[in-house]
């Protein structure tokens, strides 16, 4: 079971996971069939149109703006209403009708420590990524991650996990990584912060002793992100940081003039997180404009 508050049999877990797999395939098919609309514009504007390739490691999908398309599809595949409700895919209206829980959203599969597809992250027309699956017998938002299974081979070959907020940031980093022999793997936390359980999942897929956190946004967002130090320090010997100028993200930096090179330089000039917390991020902003290399990692220590 994924949450101590729920007891689920092996057979029940299997059926709930099968429903999520079928739903993810449905969402993926809907996106690949799309010929217009905001999802395609959004992916294009974010520089992530490559996810529309069947070869992409990022199997992003789309939940159509309809009431029962998913319900009807999964019912045709033999899933009961009870299974779909318990999986978090379907909800009941006040009139007693079963309707799709997810509508008009880009969808990413969220996986647990076993890499099982237990829930979903949604991105709406506002561009905000968030967990959309309720707590179920197999899903708890703080116990899942996006991007680990997609980049498991990369992480297993020694890529350093780069923790970002948004999936589009992770995709931008993965593009730069391909040009740098797979040195980095972007891992999005999707607006929910990083929990100890998520840090454990990431550690289990990584062979490196280093994790890097990207700080972006305003002071409040940076302070929250800097708080990942303790959770990461349980599992990684070295936790480092990249500070981007206010208002800039890895995805937006990638789209600027010479953006791929600038993003690569930022990834190459991380510094210890504890050191960063004692400095103003203005210094890092200056370094991004005129990088002063910090090629040697700090001595191994207690999470610093």
* Spatial separation of the C-alpha atoms in residues 235 and 14, rounded to whole Å: 30
Strands 210-215 and 160-164, bridge-based pairing: parallel
pLDDT tier at 286, thresholds 50, 70, 90: low
Question: What six digits make up the tokens of 288?
Answer: 């991004």
Does the residue 34 lie in any domain? yes
Residue 144 lies in a domain: no
Q: What tokens appear for 147 in the block? A: 């991007």
Q: Given this model, what pLDDT does residue 191 score? A: 81
- Quick check: 48 pLDDT over 80? yes
CA distance 63 to 156: 31
Tell whether 1 is covered by a domain: no
Segment 99-146, tens digit of pLDDT? 999 999 999 999 999 999 999 999 999 999 999 999 999 999 999 999
DSSP assignment of 23-40: HHHHHHHHHHH--SSHHH
pLDDT value of residue 228: 82
**Residue 240, H or E segment:** strand 238-243
Considering 100, 120, 139, which residue would you say is the last residue of a domain? 139
Q: Which of 139, 167, 193 is the last residue of a domain?
A: 139
H or E stretch including 121? strand 117-123
Question: Which of the listed residues 73, 107, 139 is the one where a domain comes to its end?
Answer: 139
* Host domain of residue 220: 149-289
- The model's pLDDT over 80-97, given as tens digits with 9 standing for 90+, comes to 999 999 999 999 999 999
The answer on 184 and 86 residing in a single domain is no
The answer to whether residues 266 and 162 touch, using CB atoms and an 8 Å cutoff, is no
Predicted local confidence at residue 192, as pLDDT: 81
Q: Same domain for 134 and 166?
A: no
Same domain, 126 and 162: no
96-110, 158-172, 261-275, range with the lowest pLDDT: 261-275
């Amino acid at each position: 079971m994924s949450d101590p508050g729920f007891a689920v049999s092996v057979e029940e877990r299997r059926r709930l996971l099968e429903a999520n797999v079928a739903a993810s395939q449905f969402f993926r098919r809907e996106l690949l069939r799309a010929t217009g609309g905001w999802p395609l514009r959004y992916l294009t504007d974010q520089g992530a149109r490559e996810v529309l390739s069947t070869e992409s490691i990022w199997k992003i999908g789309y939940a159509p703006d309809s009431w029962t398309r998913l319900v009807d599809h999964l019912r045709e595949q033999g899933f009961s209403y009870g299974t779909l409700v318990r999986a978090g895919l379907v909800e009941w209206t006040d009139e007693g009708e079963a309707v799709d829980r997810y509508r008009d959203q880009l969808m990413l599969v969220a996986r647990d420590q076993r890499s099982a597809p237990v829930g979903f992250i949604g991105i709406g027309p506002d561009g905000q990524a968030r967990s959309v699956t309720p707590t179920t017998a197999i899903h708890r938002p703080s116990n899942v991650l996006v991007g680990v299974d997609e980049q498991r081979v990369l992480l297993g070959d020694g890529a350093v996990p780069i923790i970002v907020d948004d999936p589009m940031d992770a995709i931008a980093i993965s593009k730069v990584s391909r040009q740098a022999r797979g040195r980095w793997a972007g891992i999005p936390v999707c607006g929910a912060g990083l929990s100890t359980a998520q840090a454990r999942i990431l550690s289990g897929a990584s062979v490196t002793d280093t994790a890097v956190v990207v700080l972006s946004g305003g002071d409040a967002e940076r302070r929250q992100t800097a708080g990942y130090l303790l959770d990461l320090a349980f599992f990684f010997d070295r936790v480092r940081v990249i500070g981007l100028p206010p208002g800039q993200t890895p995805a937006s930096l990638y789209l600027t003039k010479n953006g791929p090179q600038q993003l690569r330089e930022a990834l190459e000039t991380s510094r210890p997180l504890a050191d960063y917390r004692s400095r103003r991020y203005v210094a890092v902003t200056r370094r991004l404009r005129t990088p002063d290399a910090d090629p040697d990692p700090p001595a191994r220590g207690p999470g610093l």
